[in-house]
Amino acid sequence: MDPHVELENVSKFYEARDKTHALHEVSFAIDVGEFVSIVGPSGCGKSTLLKIMAGLDDPTSGEVRFQGSPVRGPHDKISMVFQSFGLFPWRTVLENVEYGLEMHKTPKSERRALSREYLDMVGLAGYEHMYPKQLSGGMKQRVGIARALAVEPEVVLMDEAFSAIDEVTADVLREEVADLHKQTGKTFVLVTHNLSEAIELADKVVVLSSRPAKVKKIFPISLERPRDRTHTLFVHIHRDILHLLKEELENTLTRHKLKGIVPLQKLHDLEASSKESPAKEPEAAAPVSTHISAKAEH
Amino acid sequence: MLTNYLWLIPLATGFAAWEMVTRFRLIPQANLPTFSAVLGAFFISVQDPLFLLRIAHSFLSLICGLLLAFCTALPIAFVAGSKNKFDLTFTPLIMLFGALPDLSFLPLLVLWFGPGSVAAIIMASAAGFFPIYFTVRDGTRNIPRELFEVTSIFKSDRLSTFTKMILPAISPHMFSGLRLAYDFGWEIIIAIEIATRAAGIGSFIEGSVSGGSLDSGFAAILAIAIVAVVVDRVFFGSLESWAKRWA
């Protein structure tokens, strides 16, 4: 089966701001109906990557393909859920959900019906005529999710969709998103800095390195759903990814220090210690990764 | 509910005190007529169609000035709020003009357009330009980036982005600016009518006071106050609260 969304050597430079190199030849593929989480150190460019997949931003080189054809701008079948919800405060809940359909020129009666259906699906029936300011963070994001689904997309992109919500509410909402994924069979891509969240929801977790972001490793997650965060394998995968990210963070810190503040002697010490640690890693990581791939195969 | 009318107490006290100090001649009536005389003159004046026409004339000049200010300030402010380079190029210049005392240009305007309503309208629009410009510019700048991404992801065209996103987002700011411009506008219009003796209620005040009938002069001030406050509260007040119904 052809991949649903495919990234091939996606790179991004920002010309204006001191020529930042945000993404470096990022490649991976997403299958139809797959749930993919993208994690990486903060500020590594994972949101930029999602925006490129959404067609909101162009890659400097490489391309994103949706169903085989390159994405050159927003696409009817690719929808998005935003970190700060992205609701229009002057529109009611129902009008916010209708917005996407309105832009897609869906006839009025049809868009009303569709919007009500999706509001019902996210558990907001009865809240149609409220304004966003009257809702809690979790409810606002439900509106955001309903709006994204109402245009009947094939791919739903979620940019840190749970990070502006309190933890307990976020937990419930995650379970519901997992259900929505199962029910609708759509392809989901979630960018997050929350590892447990990434593992809980995804069929595979793409780990990016620090700037410029490259694909560090892809972890297939074959744990049964609904997922138990205390499951041994869950804990192992979590530890593995965390380990990778910490290593990335240390690399970044070393790079910053190299830029000048550290006296030469300390620099030598630093280099010596950073040479030691990678030597230890493969041993620690190896048993777990074989464990995962073994699980992934059957 | 009753507490909404508490302001009537100091107002009535003030009028009573005014009546007292003038009736007992603590202030000579040649300088300040009694409040009752002013009220009397007011009720006579408002039955005079010419008096009402003068008020209407000043009010219309003000509205024309406001419309002119709105139509020029809105597009420029909108561009300044969304394009940083434009803002850096033009806003300092506009601030510079805003800092100048508007009325200093009056003799030039009178020279160019004569001592009539045209000068008053242009002056009022110049004064109203700044509050509209700065509120709309700031309103546009404060639209969260994310909302622009929402319009893009759902493929909104430029026109819909303006009418369905930017306009509602800036409308509370826009109406506040318009209201400020209206308040400034009254001062400018009256000042110009007094200075140039152009038709309108300003020159009526000037004529009454210099002709010795202070009660008519005060009656005219009272009439302006009523029109100004009622329009401000009823029209602009409800416009503003309508635009902020969701905020």
B247 interaction partners in chain A (CB closer than 8 Å): 89, 133
Look at A80 and B149 and tell me if their CB atoms are within 8 Å. Answer: yes
Q: How confident is the model at residue B2 (pLDDT cuts 50, 70, 90)?
A: confident
pLDDT value, residue A289: 42
pLDDT value, residue A298: 41
How far is residue A1 from each of residues A5, A6, A32, measured CA to CA in Å? 12, 12, 9
**Identity of the residue numbered A259:** K
pTM for the model stands at 0.81
Distant-in-sequence contacts of A46-49, Cβ < 8 A, 24+ apart: A46/A191, A46/A208, A46/A213, A47/A159, A47/A160, A47/A191, A48/A12, A48/A22, A48/A23, A49/A7, A49/A10, A49/A12, A49/A23, A49/A191, A49/A208, A49/A213
* A56, A91, A103 member nearest B149 (Cβ): A56
User: What is the spatial distance between Cα B78 and Cα B74, in angstroms, rounded to a whole number?
Assistant: 6
- Closest by CA position to A88, among listed B82, B174, B160, B239: B160
Contact B189, B148 (CB under 8 A): no
pLDDT value, residue A282: 41
Whether B177 has a pLDDT exceeding 80, the answer reads yes
Percentage of residues of chain B with pLDDT beyond 70: 100
pLDDT value, residue A76: 94
Minimum distance, in Å, between the CA of residue A103 and any CA atom of chain B: 6
pLDDT by residue for chain A (298 residues), tens digit each? 689 999 999 999 887 656 778 899 999 999 999 999 999 988 788 999 999 999 999 999 999 999 999 999 999 999 999 999 999 999 999 999 999 999 999 999 999 999 999 999 999 999 999 999 999 999 999 999 999 999 999 999 999 999 999 999 999 999 999 999 999 999 999 999 999 999 999 999 999 998 888 999 999 999 998 899 999 999 999 999 999 998 888 877 777 766 655 555 555 555 555 554 444 444 444 444 444 444 444 4
Minimum distance, in Å, between the CA of residue A64 and any CA atom of chain B: 16
**Identity of the residue numbered B216:** S
Q: Return the domain boundaries, chain A.
A: 5-77+153-223
**Identity of the residue numbered B81:** G
Residue to mutate among B84, B142, B147, B150, with most A CBs inside 10 A, is B150
CATH superfamily of A5-77+153-223: P-loop containing nucleotide triphosphate hydrolases (3.40.50.300)
User: What is the spatial distance between Cα B60 and Cα B191, in angstroms, rounded to a whole number?
Assistant: 15
Whether B197 has a pLDDT exceeding 70, the answer reads yes
Tokens 């593929």 map to which residue? A29
The predicted-structure confidence for B31-77, as pLDDT tens digits, reads as follows 899 999 999 999 999 999 999 999 999 999 999 999 999 999 999 99
Structure-token pair, residue A123 = 């558990």
Contact A209, A40 (CB under 8 A): yes
Structure-token pair, residue B235 = 């029209």
* B146, B154, B246 member nearest A104 (Cβ): B154
User: What is the spatial distance between Cα B8 and Cα B23, in angstroms, rounded to a whole number?
Assistant: 22
Contact B184, B190 (CB under 8 A): no
pLDDT value, residue A251: 79
> Is A76 within 8 Å of chain B by CB?
yes
Contact A181, A201 (CB under 8 A): yes
Minimum distance, in Å, between the CA of residue A258 and any CA atom of chain B: 35
- Residue A140's Cβ-count burial label (10 Å; 0-12, 13-18, 19+) is buried
> Is A99 within 8 Å of chain B by CB?
yes
* A51, A80, A88 member nearest B165 (Cβ): A88
The predicted-structure confidence for B102-117, as pLDDT tens digits, reads as follows 888 889 988 999 888 8
**Identity of the residue numbered A291:** H
Structure-token pair, residue A45 = 């460019």
pLDDT value, residue A286: 41
- Closest by CA position to A27, among listed A79, A55, A54, A62: A62
User: What is the spatial distance between Cα B81 and Cα B76, in angstroms, rounded to a whole number?
Assistant: 9
CB pairs under 8 A between A and B: 57
Q: Count how many Cα atoms sit within 13 Å of the Cα of residue B157 in the half-sphere of its side chain.
A: 4
User: What is the spatial distance between Cα A272 and Cα A277, in angstroms, rounded to a whole number?
Assistant: 9
The domains of chain B, with CATH numbers, are 49-243 (1.10.3720.10)
The predicted-structure confidence for A168-214, as pLDDT tens digits, reads as follows 999 999 999 999 999 999 999 999 999 999 999 999 999 999 888 89
pLDDT value, residue B215: 92
- Residue A133's Cβ-count burial label (10 Å; 0-12, 13-18, 19+) is exposed
pLDDT value, residue B243: 84
B146 interaction partners in chain A (CB closer than 8 Å): 82-84, 86
